[in-house]
Amino acid sequence: MDYHNVLTTCPYCGAGCGLYIQVLDGEIVGVLPAKEHPVSGGKLCIKGWNATAFVRHPDRLTTPLIREGDRFREASWDEALDRVAERLAQIRDTYGPDALGFLVSAKCTNEENYLAQKLARAFFKTNNVDHCARL
Ligand code: SF4
């Protein structure tokens, strides 16, 4: 039997509370607050206590879906990302760069948000980039 705790950050809001995911034989079995964490100091809200509930939820999307008519079909990440890149370029070329908007997230890292605004401003030439905290 292998049991260990994995220190991580709650995925649900920008507070960034620290928690441990309890792992038993490779399966998530619970969540514990990280007492030593400088932000949360051993406390979690109800979302943090349930931070892993989505992992095995039957409604969880685990592969990209592409709409075809009234249906969705599963696609590879390469196909989905190629489709997104093509459509973004088509919209920019047809309607101009300000027809595009980019929304990022409080739960991304600073580096990920930096890259998203670089993609919007430097590559697509639009300042339409915003953040989930202002939705
Ligand atoms: S535990 Fe609650 S307050 Fe802390 S990061 Fe998660 S959602 Fe936010």
Q: Residue 31 C-alpha to ligand 1 middle, in angstroms?
A: 13
Instruction: Give the Cα-Cα-Cα angle 3, 38, 53 (nearest 5 degrees).
Output: 45
Residue-number span of the structural domain to which 45 is assigned? 3-49
Residue 101 pLDDT:
96
pTM to 2 decimal places: 0.70
Q: Residue 8 C-alpha to ligand 1 middle, in angstroms?
A: 12
Does ligand 1 have an atom closer than 6 angstroms to the CB of 10?
yes
Q: Is 135 helix (H, G, I), strand (E, B) or coil?
A: coil
Ligand 1 pocket: which of 40, 43, 44, 132 to mutate (most atoms within 8 A of CB) = 44
Q: Which atom of ligand 1 is nearest the CA belonging to 12?
A: 7
Q: Whose CA is nearest to atom 4 of ligand 1?
A: 17
Tens place of pLDDT for every residue, the chain, 135 residues?
999 999 999 988 878 899 999 999 999 999 999 999 999 999 999 999 999 998 989 999 999 999 999 999 999 999 999 999 999 999 999 999 999 999 988 777 789 889 999 999 999 999 999 987 765
Distance CA 102, CA 110 (A): 15
Q: Where are the beta strands (DSSP E) in 15-132?
A: 18-24, 27-33, 65-68, 71-74, 102-104, 129-131
Structurally, the chain folds into a number of domains equal to 3
Q: Does residue 101 share a domain with residue 84?
A: no
Distance CA 107, CA 88 (A): 24
Query: Which CATH number do you get for residue 28?
Result: 2.20.25.90
Does ligand 1 have an atom closer than 6 angstroms to the CB of 124?
no
Distance CA 78, CA 72 (A): 17
Q: Does residue 44 share a domain with residue 14?
A: yes
Distance CA 73, CA 61 (A): 12
Does ligand 1 have an atom closer than 6 angstroms to the CB of 100?
no
Q: Does residue 103 share a domain with residue 82?
A: no
Q: Residue 115 C-alpha to ligand 1 middle, in angstroms?
A: 25
Both structure tokens of 120? 């919007």
Q: Is 7 helix (H, G, I), strand (E, B) or coil?
A: strand
Residue 135 pLDDT:
53
